[in-house]
Structure 1
């Protein structure tokens, strides 16, 4: 009977001494659980409003959701008097080990996030990167798919893309094409230049503004080289060059 009263008194004393901590821990738990949902959903809405890829949005939403819940869990057990330093140290060591073993994948993942957020290119753009020129077919979490002109699908890691030089050939609707026409001294330079000017004026795909330009870029013992610069829509670059060369052949 005495033991029973002792245990009851001990329990009462424990509840009285730690009631404030228990109530605070419960408040942190319920508020934290609500905040984890609210912040994750808000984060998702922001990403969707920026037209971020849905797969990446859902992954980041889960990452934010469980990251906040992990912090809530540590805060609750800390408030209840549980020593968390060793627990946090174990988690840190585990995270470091995983990070070292997945260095390449994490770099590609981070690169994918940067590409999606800052949008140096988007699906459908024609880009030149890592020695490849092609149309962007898909931007995935770890790599980007590019369809080249010879119908080859190239997968480029996002880490290389985010840290390398990217030439976006579609970001502007027009582009300038430069090419040279070499003639000998025996040929009539004035007539050939006139042919170039006529072909430019008669072309329906060469833009009049900015104004086309024709220069002598080189004069040597063997002949003269004309530099021709014309502006076209991106899809008409090759055709415009072909038309001019055919006219002066």
Structure 2
């Protein structure tokens, strides 16, 4: 009798829960297949959008686990398990984690924003957070720069994405402005001709229409007349030309007889008679 009782109970369980279990299994199989197809479509879309590899991997993993959690909840609900409390636990855990990781989440959001909007890329020379350097690495949490002195600077993406960023590499060319100060007795035209002759000798200087080199008077200072040399060059040629014009410019101006003043003060001593 006892054996028959348990057999009846087994049949009852199969009749009551068998269809639900089969439905849950089908939902899991079909749902997993749909998730796989969806992830492939999203991955292709991100590849066409030229997203960073690190961002692709992170977003795909985030989407995968989010959809898996939803699928698990749906499957459990199909069997008849109460999922309301389960969802509440997940929500509470998510809220607690969010409060505990506010700074990290801000950096994460900033990293996603940087990787999507692409204000700079690896290899660009930028100025941000008071630091000038070449971008070495862009991750979800921070960005690494190498300064001119080869120091590694790590910037949190949260602050970086909300601050001003100057990208010196994005346009491919740059304009320089070098100031030369001459005495009030020196010839402005001679100064301009001497420097522009030096500039025009350099094939790296861009001579396109609207970007020709020029030299203009910018200030009548206390002890000098200041002229600014403006020229355009490719990023790869910029610093070499900058340093050359400062050094060679001084040499040629002195050879031309142009006086380059320096700050000085006249002191008059008056003796009592």
| TM-score, normalised with respect to structure 2 | 0.80
Alpha-carbon distance in 2 for matches of 1:113, 1:30:
32
Partner of 1:207, secondary structure, is: coil
Please name the residue that 2:261 is paired with. none
Please name the residue that 2:268 is paired with. none
* 1:99-132: CA deviation from partner (whole Å, max 9, x where unpaired): 1111222222222222222211111111111111
Task: Give ranges in structure 2 of 5+ residues lacking alignment.
Answer: 255-273
Please name the residue that 2:214 is paired with. 213
1:76–1:154 Cα change, 3 Å: same
Report the CA distance between 1:22 and its aligned residue.
Answer: 4.7
**Which stretch shows the higher mean deviation, 66-75 or 159-168?**
159-168
Alpha-carbon distance in 2 for matches of 1:125, 1:242:
21
1:236–1:15 Cα change, 3 Å: same
Alpha-carbon distance in 1 for matches of 2:186, 2:156:
52
**Which stretch shows the higher mean deviation, 129-138 or 200-209?**
200-209
Please name the residue that 1:40 is paired with. 39
Report the CA distance between 1:73 and its aligned residue.
Answer: 0.9
- Whether the 8 Å CA contact 2:180–2:228 is kept in 1: the answer is yes
Please name the residue that 2:263 is paired with. none
Query: Does the alignment pair 1:140 with 2:175?
Result: no
Larger radius of gyration: 2
Please name the residue that 1:240 is paired with. 241
Partner of 1:230, secondary structure, is: strand
* 1:9-66: CA deviation from partner (whole Å, max 9, x where unpaired): 89549836x6665554333222111122222233233334444443443333222112
> What is the RMSD of the two structures over their aligned residues, measured on CA atoms?
2.6
Correspondences of 1:168-207 after superposition (within 5 Å): 168-207=167-206
1:24–1:192 Cα change, 3 Å: same
1:162–1:79 Cα change, 3 Å: same
Please name the residue that 1:163 is paired with. 162
1:54–1:189 Cα change, 3 Å: closer
Correspondences of 1:79-98 after superposition (within 5 Å): 79-98=78-97
Partner of 2:108, secondary structure, is: helix
Report the CA distance between 1:83 and its aligned residue.
Answer: 1.9
Please name the residue that 2:127 is paired with. 128
Partner of 2:38, secondary structure, is: helix
Partner of 1:156, secondary structure, is: strand
Alpha-carbon distance in 2 for matches of 1:62, 1:202:
56
Alpha-carbon distance in 1 for matches of 2:222, 2:100:
63
Task: Give ranges in structure 1 of 5+ residues lacking alignment.
Answer: none
Partner of 2:170, secondary structure, is: coil
Alpha-carbon distance in 2 for matches of 1:81, 1:216:
84
Partner of 2:15, secondary structure, is: helix
Please name the residue that 1:15 is paired with. 15
How many equivalent pairs are there? 248
- Whether the 8 Å CA contact 2:196–2:214 is kept in 1: the answer is no
Please name the residue that 1:74 is paired with. 73
Partner of 1:236, secondary structure, is: helix
| TM-score, normalised with respect to structure 1 | 0.87
